[in-house]
Every structure is written in C-alpha cells, then in structure tokens.
Structure 1
Amino acid sequence: MPSSTPKPRAIDWPLLLILLAGGLLGFLATIPLVVQWLPRLVSPGAKAEFQKNLPMPLPAVFALGFVQNAAIFGVAIAVGLVLGKKVGLGAPELEAWRAGSPRPGLARRLALAAIIGLGTGLLLIVLDAFLFLPRTGLELAKWMADVPLWKRLLAGLVYGGITEELICRFFLVTLLAWLLGKFWRTPSSQPDGQPTPGAIWTAILIATFLFALGHLPLAARLGELTPWLVARVLVLNGVAGTVYGYLYTRRGLESAMAAHAATHIPLQILAGTAASIAQSVS
C-alpha cells in the first residue's frame, strides 16, 4: 500500500515569496540614494541634461528595474532554497517558523550578530580613517557627506542587510559550497556527504572576493582606480564579507543579515568622523 506521507516540497514557495519581498524592499530602499547620485554618476554636473537624455521617465526606469530585480532575486532565492538543503545552509529561523516550531533564543542570536556587525563597522571606520582615506583622497567622503544620513542608513540597513545577503550569501555561497562539495566533501555518507569545512571557507572567500569586486564600478566613477583605491574597496568589503559569510554558514541567513545591517550604523553615522581623521593625518 503506498505511503500517504506527503513528499517534502523542493521549494517552500511561501518562504521564497517572503525572502523575495525582503529583497525587493531593499531595492526600493536604494531609490532615494540613487535619485541623488545617479545624475552625478552618469553625467556629473549636468542633472537637467541627464534627465533629458533618459530613454524613459525616471519612475519608469525604476519600475523596469523592479521587475528585472524581481526575476533575478526570485531565481537566486530558489537556488538558495534548493541547494541549501543539500549542503546544510539556509535560513534556519524562518524555516523553523514556517514549520510551526520557532527556535527559542532568536533575540539573543540576532543581538549577538548585531554586536558583531557593529564591531565590524567600527573596524572598517578605523581602517578607512587611518589607512585608506589619507591615501585615496576624500572624494568618496565628500559624496557621502552630500547625502542625508537617513538615505544612507535606509540603503545600508535594508539593501545591504537584506538584498546583498540574499544574493551574496544565500545564493552565491550556497551555490559555491554545493559545487565545491561535489569534489570536496566529508568522506562519510558519500555520495551525499556535506561539503568539508575547507570547501565552505573557499566558498565564503570566493563569494567575498566577488562581493568586493562588485563595488569597484562605483569607485571607478569617483576617479582613477589607483592601487590604493582598489585595495580600499577589496579590503574593506573583503573583511565585511568574510564576517557575514562566516555567520551565514555557522548561524544562518538571519544572523548574516543582522550583522550586515548593524555594520552600516557606525559606518554611516561616523563617515564624517572618518573623513576628519583622515584629513588630519594625511
């Protein structure tokens, strides 16, 4: 007699929709920042000319971007959900909640992750103020000072904390861990063994490097990509990405999100302080 136990679904569609909503919320959170920066990035000093040369009204550009990002995020989240089950990675807090058995101690785990994120943000401020800004100039700091704090915090907390973690950790680290695990897995229970710690760390570092590289185009718009400017982008984003990757693989997506969001609190609030310190030591 066939079993009446239902097979687990390959994709938890409600969870996918929840994560997709978070990712798209991050996209929307960048709009105030992008509206202020885009004319300067594309056509510095010529805002009217920039708007005139747009192929469609700016709201339509954002609407198209929303649809495109919905498709990209949807695929990335689906990959993370499917492959995460194979390599032991995922969003354990949300998954437990979806299963009807929330994990105790959630507030404590997220608070710890946030503290780690705050510490990471302070470390990045120190590195930037004393090592990189004095050697790369203060153009980026000036750009940041021109943007109201609420716009920077909104983009950092929501886009950085949610959207970037969905793409860089939930999708990319999971995919890389699964690929590396094909050749580098625990000897027990083969062929279905989990990726080894070495495979997981390699996935974290590759994803972190790609995460850092993704910030170079913006840096290039601020001036010449000198060795120090490239080092600044790679080191600062590399440090942060490694922390988030570690938390993702050890604690889950939610902890990585909490840490990433918290990093932006000192990073944005103390940006002016970092610039002042850099100016005094340069």
Structure 2
Amino acid sequence: MKKSDWKVALLLSLICLVGGLLVVPYQLTSLQKTFPEQYELLVETMPLPYTALLLLTGFQLAVISFVLAFIGVKLARKAGFSLDVLYSLFNKEKVRFDRKGVMLSILFGVIAGFVIIGGDRFYFQYQIAIMRETEPSFSLLGLVTGVFYGGVFEEILMRLVAMSLLVWIFKLIFQRQQSNLAPVFYWIAIVIASVLFAAGHLPATSAVFGDLTVDVVVRCFLLNGIGGLFFGYLYWKKGFEYAIIAHMFTHISMQLLFIPLFY
C-alpha cells in the first residue's frame, strides 16, 4: 500500500483540480446574484485576467490537495483508518464497496442536506433579516463545485488530515499496548474537526452578514458543522470513500431535492 500512496494522492488531487477550476466561477456567480455592487467592484479590481485566475486557482488547489492527501494517507494508516477502495484501484484488486455503507452514506448526506437547507428555510431566515432578501435557487455550477471541491478537497482536509492526525495523537498518548483506543477519542476527533471546519467559515459569514450576532454564529456552526459529524463517523466506521460519498450527496440533495422543494 505504501507504494500506492502517491497514486492515491495524485488521483484525489486531479479530482480537486476540477473543483478548483470551478470555485472562482461559482463564487463570482453567487456574488453577482446576492451582492451585485460588490461583484462589479471585484471584477473591476481583479488582479489577473479571468482565465488566468481560473487556471491559477485550479493548479494551486491541485498541488495543495496532493500534498495534503499524501500526508493524509500516511496519517490514516497510522491512525487505523481505511482507504481500501482507493487502494484497490492501484493494486489490481476488484473494487468492492460495502452496499450497506454506501446506502448509509447517501442517507447521512441527505439528512445533512435537509438540515442545512431546512434550517435556513424554517428557522434562520426568520431570525436573520438579510436572509429574507434573497432565496437560493438550483445551480448546476454550485452542484458540481460542491461535489468535487466540497466532497473531495474538504474531506481530504478535515477527515484524511485533521481527524487522522487527532486520532493518531490520541493513540500515542492514551492507547495501551494491548487495547484499542476508546470510542470517546474518535468522537472527540470528529467533533473537533467539525468545529474547526465551521469556524473556518466565520470570516466568509462575517463578510456576508456583517455583524456576527448570536443567530449568525449559531447558524455558521450548526449548518457548517452538522455534516462533519456524519462524515467523521463514516470515516471511522466505514472508510474515507464513504465520507466522500456522504459529503457529495449532501450537495446533491441540497441542489436537486431540498432547494426546489422548499423554495
């Protein structure tokens, strides 16, 4: 498996390259829809031509994701996590998904998508005035970006690297030679990774909503952190690939099911 580490990392980075090429168009499209004045100012002050910016962003994300994935697969091995499906692609083995695991991943993804869109539709839009000014709508660009960028790069960062690192540290400190690491430490790692991911959205949340009121902060941590609990559990119990599937189906269910249904 060690000889295949760089191949797995390269495959993941190539997927992230697609996501990287889509991030800027998606962000600009979203900004144009919600804040047209800021969009016009940004376009006027853009430091690079549009095409050059796309290529630069895609290349940067591919390089970063390769490095992170290469480190992550080694941490995952030390922490005892599985990437069996990805490794089977390069070890001349039959690719075998756990059907129940796949179904559970899809279910968790749909639940996370419901909480995110439903939370805004049925609660937060009544608490945060600016949310009532615009309504989300189906976006093919948002769907594809979410699947490739969110579903793969964010899982590399938060599960393959962050969660693996935490569990490996916990094993070094707390695991006795003849016993397994207690489940509580996995849950601690899952929660920490989810909270860190949500906290990373605070600057963007502040830029969109202005003042970080209690409702805005609660929304940021709840809607950006809920998925991480599901994805972290799947990474622990089933493997990295199942966390990716669940994350992808979160975006798929949001765009194809809950946004059309609720809006």
Shorter-chain TM-score: what band? 0.7 to 0.9
Residue type of the partner of 1:19?
Answer: L
Question: Would the alpha carbon gap of residues 184 and 10 (structure 1) be closer, same or farther in structure 2, given more than 3 Å must change?
Answer: farther
> Which one of 8, 22, 42 corresponds to residue 15 of structure 2?
22
SS in 2 for 1:101: coil
Offset at 1:47?
4.2
The residue that corresponds to 1:3 in the other structure is none
Offset at 1:38?
5.0
Matches of 1:234 and 1:271, distance apart in 2: 20
Higher mean C-alpha deviation, range 73-82 or range 22-31: 22-31
Residue type of the partner of 1:79?
Answer: I
Offset at 1:210?
0.7
Matches of 2:133 and 2:116, distance apart in 1: 14
* Deviation string, structure 1 residues 189-208 (Cα, Å, up to 9, x no partner): 4xxx7643222221111110
Question: Would the alpha carbon gap of residues 105 and 68 (structure 1) be closer, same or farther in structure 2, given more than 3 Å must change?
Answer: closer
Counting aligned pairs with the same residue, the percent is 29
8 Å contact from structure 1 (residues 11, 78) kept in 2: no
Matches of 1:219 and 1:227, distance apart in 2: 12
Matches of 1:80 and 1:9, distance apart in 2: 12
Matches of 2:38 and 2:126, distance apart in 1: 29
* Deviation string, structure 1 residues 118-157 (Cα, Å, up to 9, x no partner): 1222233333333322112353872634xx5212211222
Q: Which runs of 5+ in 2 are unaligned?
A: none
Bigger helix fraction: 2
Matches of 1:194 and 1:16, distance apart in 2: 28
> Which one of 185, 188, 193 corresponds to residue 177 of structure 2?
188
8 Å contact from structure 2 (residues 139, 255) kept in 1: yes
> Which one of 2, 5, 20 corresponds to residue 12 of structure 1?
5
Question: Would the alpha carbon gap of residues 212 and 156 (structure 1) be closer, same or farther in structure 2, given more than 3 Å must change?
Answer: same
The residue that corresponds to 1:197 in the other structure is 183
Matches of 2:216 and 2:41, distance apart in 1: 29
Question: Would the alpha carbon gap of residues 127 and 52 (structure 1) be closer, same or farther in structure 2, given more than 3 Å must change?
Answer: closer
Matches of 2:213 and 2:36, distance apart in 1: 20
> Which one of 230, 236, 256 corresponds to residue 243 of structure 1?
230
Matches of 1:221 and 1:78, distance apart in 2: 33
Q: Which runs of 5+ in 1 are unaligned?
A: 1-7, 277-282
Q: Check if 1:229 corresponds to 2:219.
A: no
Residue type of the partner of 1:248?
Answer: Y
Please tell me the root mean square deviation across aligned C-alpha atoms, in Å.
Answer: 2.6
Q: Check if 1:220 corresponds to 2:213.
A: no
* Deviation string, structure 1 residues 54-92 (Cα, Å, up to 9, x no partner): 222122222222232223212211111111111111422
Residue type of the partner of 2:186?
Answer: I
TM-score (norm 1): 0.81
SS in 1 for 2:47: coil
Q: Check if 1:265 corresponds to 2:252.
A: yes
The residue that corresponds to 1:110 in the other structure is 102
8 Å contact from structure 2 (residues 234, 243) kept in 1: yes
The 5-angstrom pairing of residues 122-201 of structure 1 reads 122-139=114-131, 142=134, 144-145=136-137, 148-185=138-175, 187-189=176-178, 195-201=181-187
Residue type of the partner of 1:183?
Answer: I
The residue that corresponds to 1:100 in the other structure is 92
Question: Rg bigger for which structure?
Answer: 1
Matches of 1:27 and 1:33, distance apart in 2: 10
Matches of 2:87 and 2:238, distance apart in 1: 13
The residue that corresponds to 1:211 in the other structure is 197
SS in 2 for 1:162: helix
